[in-house]
Amino acid sequence: MRKKINLRTLLMGGLFTLSFFALILRTFWIQYVDSAEIMAKAKDTWERSDAINPKRGDIVDRNGQLLAYHGKAYTVIARLKPYPNDQKNQNYVIDKEETAAKLAPILNMSQEKILERLSKDLTQVELRPGGWKIPKEKAEKVKALNLPGIGLYEESRRYYPYGAFASHAIGYTNLEGEARMGIERMLDDQLKGEKGSFTFKTDRRGNQLPDGVESYKPAKDGNKVVLTIDHQIQNYIEDALNEATAKYKMEGVSVVVSDPHTGQILGMGNRPTFNPNSPTDIKSFFNPVIGANFEPGSTFKIATLAAAIEEKQFNPNATYMSGIYTKIKGQPIRDHNQGRGWGLITYKEGVKRSSNVAFVRLGYDMLGKEKLFSYLTKFGFGQKTGIDLPGEARGSFNPNRKYYPRDIASITFGQGVSVTAIQQVAAVGAIANGGKLMKPYIVKEIRDAKTDKVIQEHKPQMVRRVVSEETAKQTRDLLGAVVNEKNGTGQPFALPGYQVAGKTGTAQVAENGRYVAGKYINSFIGFAPKDNPKLLIYVVVNQPHIDNPSAGGKIIAAPIFKSVMERSLHYLKLSPDKTDRKTVEVVTNESVVMPELGGETVESGKQLLAQAGLKGQVLGKGKTIVGQYPKATTPLTKGTPVYMLTSKEGVQMPDLRGKTLREVMELASLLDMQVPIFKGEGYVVSQSIQPGTVIKKGDKLTVTLAPKSVTPTPVPEEESKSEKNGKTERKAEN
């Protein structure tokens, strides 16, 4: 019996000892081996960390005009059933059909699509895509319906106050905040900023405990990007493109405006275009100005001409027989008038008439392949310009590949070689500025988000000298003759009072190695004033759908070029005569230039406007004009409403009906109002602040826009409130 008791005691003691050592071992293991993992799990239970999103940096034009900004947005949510732990809260969607019917017109979604979302077996859903990150005015409409179970939560998104405005250059971000094209994508690292974090202790339900903050790292907002684009010049581009596409159908059209002395891009526009405020509707990330390869036609002759002059192979008074060139095997090369030519003419006359034969003789016979290709390379063809935009192409020119004799001859007049529009702008810019190839750029500077100090400045950069100043001047003079003298193909692009120099181009479109009858790319590249160019403009019209598509240059490109050039020159105060800055300059019988009113008395301002046949509305109660809209030197049609600001106090809201969104934006800036919220597209039909209401700095304004056909236009009272290989002969080239 005693032995059994001792054995039992021994066993129990052994078990106790083993348990004791196991406990010590486990404690040691937890404390020294598993401690990090256990602490991490514990932290997950009682500690939470939230990300703090930074504000994406603004994009502004060269004068600080806001082009893209970060703002509040709202997402529509639908609670479909009570929360499991909150059965008493009955605020959920009850009548799904009625809810869908009322939300559909506001969210631009079909009732069926909304009903599909509302029928999901979930506690809560977002009404995407139409109800995702909507602007405030839409959110207020949803809220006003007071529908059971329908709510809103605040987010943020990117806004573009001018809509379809330099869209391909600025680019856009999608609703997830991802940069997709243009400057938004190119400078995403500068614009997006750095995320912050906020860590705090919570109770078992995840609620923050009082004084439970453990760490806080603030977000760093994105930097501001200042573009070289001039808002006003871009406005002229958009207006001209809108007018052209309203009149004529075409596959596309592009316009680029640059300062040839610096390489700065002052404006860039394309059609078709898109509204970056509706990112779900955007189908293409392609910018034709920098990404499209196309045959340039006769605008390419500028490079051949300059090379021949530089090599002293061009004698303007020497003669040749125009019409047909037959020295190369195969199909003869013909002038653009079906090879009839103009008989025995001088080379200067050949340049004016855009004779293909003249340029084959200059480039192929006199220069030869090596020298011709050397100059084309110097002009930047076959290379990316390095412009600060994504997606740039390089064209098809390659001096190292094998070209047949006819290929070389065709290249002299812009056939069988492809280029990009931005290459053309840079190359012809070298002629305009005295012979220097400048690197084109669109970003002027980057400023710190907090201090607004310049942290990165982009300056003009000369790539190389291409030709001498004398050669550039002689080329400019010849291009001036193309536009301003008899028989010049560029005569439709002439501007009264200004010396424009430039060159037309008409190129057939090649498909599968052959040129397609009736499909043309028409273009014009020109600069003004000829002897001291301030602006260079390139207009490219892709496949116009008109009776005579080869005439798309004079029919479509000419009005675009002239409108943008003339308005821009006036805006830059480069008037065609030497009139005093206070004198109203009459442009046509129906057009005038807005006078400078700053510093004038109200009475004096009225007199200046009366001289121009304009009526003005006085804003404020002062006696001296401190601001005006439109700005001085803006070309106007007689009868255009004009506003004279005399003080920032006691200003009454003007009637905005009939105005464009851009006009509203500029007026709001003049009156120190917030960036207006807008609905629709076209012209103002209603405004949230009624005309005559006294406004103050920072007031919020919402305007509704609609097509012009339904828009009343008020007039303010004075004091009231591929490459071709010689397979098919080219037809037109001028």
What are the beta bridge partners of residue 592? 586, 636
Residue with token string 């019988």: 589
What are the beta bridge partners of residue 197? 51, 217
Residue 377 burial (CB count, 10 A): 16
Give the CA distances from residue 373 to residues 363, 377, 398, 411, 432, in Å, rounded to whole numbers and listed in that order.
9, 6, 9, 10, 21
Q: Cα angle vertex 686, ends 680, 688, to 5°?
A: 100
**Contact assessment for residue 411 and residue 368, using Cβ atoms and an 8 Å cutoff:** no
Q: What is the crossing angle of helices 421-432 and 301-310, to 10°? A: 40
Q: Cα angle vertex 322, ends 316, 325, to 5°?
A: 115
Q: Where are the beta strands (DSSP E) in 594-715?
A: 616-619, 627-629, 635-637, 642-645, 651-652, 677-679, 683-687, 694-695, 702-706
The dihedral formed by the CA atoms of 600, 603, 607 and 613, expressed in degrees to the nearest 10: 110
User: If DSSP codes are grouped into helix, strand and coil, which group holds residue 515?
Assistant: strand
H or E segment at 506?
strand 501-511
User: If DSSP codes are grouped into helix, strand and coil, which group holds residue 305?
Assistant: helix
Rounded to whole angstroms, the Cα distance separating 351 from 262 reads 28
Query: Of the candidates 89, 79, 202, which has an alpha carbon nearest to the alpha carbon of residue 147?
Result: 79
Residue 39's Cβ-side half-sphere holds a number of Cα atoms within 13 Å equal to 7
Total count of residues recorded for the chain: 734
Q: Is 575 a catalytic residue?
A: no
Paired tokens of 365 = 């016979």
Catalytic residue selected from 167, 254, 258, 298: 298
H or E segment at 611?
helix 602-611
Rounded to whole angstroms, the Cα distance separating 602 from 646 reads 8
DSSP code for 492: G
List alpha helices for 62-220, DSSP H: 96-107, 111-118, 136-145, 167-170, 182-186, 188-192
Residue 280 burial (CB count, 10 A): 10
Residues 6+ apart with CB under 8 A from 71: 156, 157, 158, 159
Farthest-apart Cα atoms in the chain, separation: 142
Q: Cα angle vertex 426, ends 569, 442, to 5°?
A: 70
User: Parallel, antiparallel, or unpaired for β 47-52 and 208-217?
Assistant: unpaired
Paired tokens of 641 = 């409403």
Among all residues, which ones are annotated catalytic? 298
